[in-house]
Amino acid sequence: MTNNQILIKGALPYGEDATDIAVADGKIVALGKDAGDALVNPEIVNAEGLVALPGLVDLHTHLREPGQEDAETVYTGTRAGAAGGYTCVHAMANTNPVADTAAIVEQVQTLGDAAGWLQVRPVGAVTVGLEGKQLSAMSAMATSKAKVRVFSDDGMCVSDPLLMRRALEYVKTFNGVIAQHAQDPILTAGAQMNESALSAQLGLAGWPAVAEEAIIARDISLAKHVDSRLHVCHVSTAGSVELIRWAKSKGIRVTAEVTPHHLFLTEEEACSYDPLFKVNPPLRTFEDVEALREGLADGTIDIVGTDHAPHPLEKKDCEWQAGAFGMTGLETALPVVITTMVNSDRMSWRDVARVLSEAPAQIGQVAEQGHKIAVGSLAQLTFVDPTVVRTVDPKTQWTKSTNTPFIGHDLAGQVLYTMYNGQFTVREGQPIAKENR
């Protein structure tokens, strides 16, 4: 068993001055050059030159279990999360069966607890079977052992405005949040990629920006009307950023996320006709990417959510039209943020902690589980070497699936250590199974 007292020497909390971090019985008990005085015979870990961040939190992960274990399991998905620096992920509801009852969300949480890589917080479905016809048993999920607070039909839009209003009113009673997949189903019927001159040139059915923006505008109005919490999943257009910026200026209770792939890639990837780049919402224009980066930097967009969506090989090794929507992302999210935002001087390491840990923890209501580097906080920590640049290779990743869109790209930063509740789940870049810690 690992020593329950650990002294991490020379780390750079939030990329600032080097300090020692003393951990005992799962908590941070001291910080500073004399931190070791608080411990007796600790294990010593050299973290010189490593940026220390609060453990990362993902509000948008597809773990696929139950029912789609050929793509991912709770075990393999959370192992990938730990390798990427995560100590908490929110598991989306589009499993088989759908996580629309207390029994299913409790099953997912139990699987996460057994795996032991990180905290798994189930996301409950908004509607029964994700069918958009009647509300799910949200109250039962909220009061279950899983204590669900985030509800989403992700993969499907709650397109009925009356049903969306009722959902927002319902979660307000226990301070929950509706995480909306903003996609008008009529405007996107048969859509394959971003609607543009390029889609016409490639002969692929276009997915207009207004299909996202119209739903966001409607939902902002509904959230204002009922004074409830709305979270907008995977924002992808410049117009969406402007809508959210306006809503926040009016004090409307809206938060939003952007994915790593929408921060990094553009619609030009579709020229390859490779379904690795097929995703919902689609990759957009360079102008959209710039607006998303600006929105993340100025706080209009609150968080980075991975939308980690693994698929078996046969669903991506095919022609574009037959390919599944979705990309993996847990192991590349932090490197993408470092590459696009930190190394371009758009964001500081404090900002990285905000968008990848602190804000998602607050939205998902897991902030009490640590997610800050402070004495007395649970030791949920990530240590990354910012000087390393690695070429993405799916063969070296820990997720069960290989559908990363970043294959062959050089990304900055490598997670060398992840600590969950005072125990290392990753050492020297290698995940350590529960039984071996």
CATH code: domain of residue 83 = 3.20.20.140
What are the binding residues?
60, 62-64, 94, 154, 181, 234, 280, 307, 311, 325-326
User: What is the residue whose two structure tokens read 């290989």?
Assistant: 402
Question: Does pTM top 0.95 for this prediction?
Answer: yes
Q: Return the CATH number at 22.
A: 2.30.40.10
Task: Please say which residue of 351, 369, 387 terminates a domain.
Answer: 369
The Cβ of residue 16 has, within 10 Å, a number of other Cβ atoms equal to: 12
SS3 437: coil
**What is the pLDDT tens value at each position of the chain, 437 positions in all?**
457 899 999 999 999 999 999 999 999 999 999 999 999 999 999 999 999 999 999 999 999 999 999 999 999 999 999 999 999 999 999 999 999 999 999 999 999 999 999 999 999 999 999 999 999 999 999 999 999 999 999 999 999 999 999 999 999 999 999 999 999 999 999 999 999 999 999 999 999 999 999 999 999 999 999 999 999 999 999 999 999 999 999 999 999 999 999 999 999 999 999 999 999 999 999 999 999 999 999 999 999 999 999 999 999 999 999 999 999 999 999 999 999 999 999 999 999 999 999 999 999 999 776 789 999 999 999 999 999 999 999 999 999 999 999 999 999 999 999 999 999 999 999 999 999 99
What are the binding residues for substrate?
62-64, 94, 280, 311, 325-326
For residues 78 and 9, membership in a common domain is answered with: no
DSSP alpha helix (H) spans, 236-275:
238-249, 260-264
The predicted pLDDT at position 370 comes to 72
Q: Is 276 buried (19+), middle (13-18) or exposed (0-12) by CB count in 10 A?
A: buried
The predicted pLDDT at position 2 comes to 58
Q: How far apart are CA 110 and CA 206, in angstroms?
A: 41
Peptide bond connecting 281 to the previous residue in cis, omega within 30 degrees of 0: yes
Query: What is the CB-side half-sphere exposure of residue 82 using CA atoms within 13 A?
Result: 31
Contact yes or no for 240/313 (Cβ under 8 A)? no
Cα 137 to chain centroid, rounded: 25
How many helices and strands, by DSSP H and E, does the chain display?
12, 19
For residues 42 and 191, membership in a common domain is answered with: no
The reply to whether 227 belongs to the active site is: no
Q: How far apart are CA 190 and CA 206, in angstroms?
A: 8
Contact yes or no for 222/168 (Cβ under 8 A)? yes
Task: Please say which residue of 369, 390, 420 terminates a domain.
Answer: 369
Phi-psi label, residue 396: left if phi above 0, alpha if psi -120 to 50, beta otherwise? alpha
For residues 251 and 301, membership in a common domain is answered with: yes
Cα angle 305, 310, 312 (rounded to 5 degrees) comes to 170
The predicted pLDDT at position 368 comes to 76
Contacts of 278 (CB under 8 A, 6+ apart): 192, 193, 270, 320, 323, 324, 325, 326
For residues 279 and 315, membership in a common domain is answered with: yes
For residues 256 and 337, membership in a common domain is answered with: yes
List 385's β-bridge partners, or say none.
414
Catalytic residue among 100, 302, 307, 351: 307
Run of H or E including 167: helix 161-172
Q: Which domain, by its residues, includes 265?
A: 55-369
For residues 232 and 143, membership in a common domain is answered with: yes
For residues 243 and 345, membership in a common domain is answered with: yes
For residues 260 and 306, membership in a common domain is answered with: yes
Task: Please say which residue of 369, 389, 423 terminates a domain.
Answer: 369
For residues 212 and 246, membership in a common domain is answered with: yes
For residues 68 and 13, membership in a common domain is answered with: no
Q: How far apart are CA 117 and CA 114, in angstroms?
A: 9
For residues 192 and 125, membership in a common domain is answered with: yes
The Cβ of residue 314 has, within 10 Å, a number of other Cβ atoms equal to: 11
What are the binding residues for Zn(2+)?
60, 62, 154, 181, 234, 307
For residues 44 and 177, membership in a common domain is answered with: no
Q: Number of folded domains in the chain? A: 2
